[in-house]
Structure 1
Amino acid sequence: MRKILIIDDERNVRLLIEKFLDEYEIDSLISVEEALKKIVENKVKYDLIITDLKLPGKSGLELIRELRNNAYECPILVVSAYVKPEILSEIFKYDKVDFLSKPFTKDELTKKVKSLIEEQKDSFDKALRNANKYLELGELNKAEKMIKQMFYILPSSPIPHYLMYELLKKRGNISLAEKHLKAAKALDEEENNEKN
């Protein structure tokens, strides 16, 4: 299940977003500081972050800056009533960031969320195609870069582990390759159990 983090100091807004996005696994926080602790320190991965701009302590914009400085490429949807042109232009300097004005409808929110998450799936598929191509060509460093990108985009997917197994086998690192194969099979099993 896709995982979304909501950061908003208004409880009713958090509850509304949770209600609108009930098919996702949701974590809810009220400050950027809490979010950074969870993401940067505790290494929790999300498929999407939804944040307000005006928050107690650090702002939503500061959150975006800090996440991108830490190479955290997760898509971010800024949901705010606070809209100044200079703030918007600052937000859109960053990749995979979109904006939705408050108040919003369920339809507006779900469209934005789906497009940001789908864009991420497209990035995964593109990295997968490139990783396979580079493995076939024997360009192992380029393949490794693509595989690491896939790990980042979908950490719970078995696919990057299978590819890393192939890559490490080609490099002769059999013991580490076997660990990736084991991880891939475990994730595969987990995925199948969730479906049944």
Structure 2
Amino acid sequence: MKKILIIEDEPNIRELILYNLKTNGYDGIAAEDGIMGITMVHREKPDLILLDLMLPGKSGYDICKELREEGNNVPIIMITAKTEETDKVTGLESGADDYISKPFGIREMMARIKAVLRRYEAVQGVSLNDGDTVISVDDLKMNVERHEVMVAGKQVDFTLKEFELLKYLLEHRGHVFSRDQLLNNIWGIDYAGETRTVDVHIRHIRQKLSDGKNEEHYIETIRGKGYKAR
């Protein structure tokens, strides 16, 4: 049974989520503030975290950044009343895997939980190879610490930005990012370039990864929206 931790300071929302997690076959546990939340992450080792952004003691942004910096890759879905795109991007920049805004429907929440867990398991989470973080998708293996990418046993060389862009898409596999979101996350929010910069880098990455495969085998174009890693 998958264990899901809810870090939420509103009692009614917390209890509603706990009830529906149990109904859907999950082991739900809860924390009512940021300090208790980060403590429970370390003690309980949940399979997924539902994380409110505005928390007493320690914000959701801070919790997410702290976990990622210590190497904890547990899937995180951020929950907040904020709906501005900048807030969503900030949450994703902090290391969240997905984002859901209040008020939300229970069916939507459960669908997002299932989707994030499925993507996390499909990427095989992050496996460790001699202490290095390795992201595996099909016959592609990315060693994060060594900045190495192997496809079918052959090393593929990337520029720094190509590597960072590919890494970001693979870490959030299945999530669709607009060109502006990718530009902000990889090049920085103050970057003065154009969104076509993203298109050029995606094209270069695809060319290097193709090796006879469909160009969109790893990175798919979502018409009118942006890109996602398959």
Range class of TM-score, shorter chain? 0.5 to 0.7
1:6-155 → structure 2 map (5 Å cutoff)? 6-22=6-22, 23-40=25-42, 42=43, 44-95=44-95, 97-124=97-124, 142=129, 144=130
**CA distance, structure 1, for counterparts of residue 134 and residue 90 of structure 2:** 28
Percentage identity across aligned positions?
A: 29
Equivalent residues of 1:73, 1:96 under 8 A apart: no
Change (3 A) 1:11 1:65: same
- Displacement of 1:126 in angstroms is 8.7
- Displacement of 1:85 in angstroms is 3.0
**CA distance, structure 2, for counterparts of residue 62 and residue 95 of structure 1:** 10
**CA distance, structure 2, for counterparts of residue 36 and residue 14 of structure 1:** 16
TM-score (norm 1): 0.60
Which consecutive residues of structure 2, in runs of 5 or more, have no partner in the other structure?
A: 136-230
How many residues are matched? 134
RMSD: 2.7
Which structure's residues are more often strand, by fraction? 2
Amino acid at match of 1:15: E
Which structure's residues are more often helix, by fraction? 1
Amino acid at match of 2:41: I
Using the TM superposition, name which of 12-21 and 116-125 deviates more.
116-125
Amino acid at match of 1:24: Y
Which consecutive residues of structure 1, in runs of 5 or more, have no partner in the other structure?
A: 128-140, 150-196
Q: Higher relative contact order by CA 8 Å / sep ≥ 6: 1 or 2?
A: 1
Change (3 A) 1:103 1:74: same
Equivalent residues of 1:96, 1:116 under 8 A apart: no
- Displacement of 1:87 in angstroms is 2.2
1:158-177 → structure 2 map (5 Å cutoff)? none
Equivalent residues of 1:74, 1:96 under 8 A apart: no
- Displacement of 1:58 in angstroms is 1.4
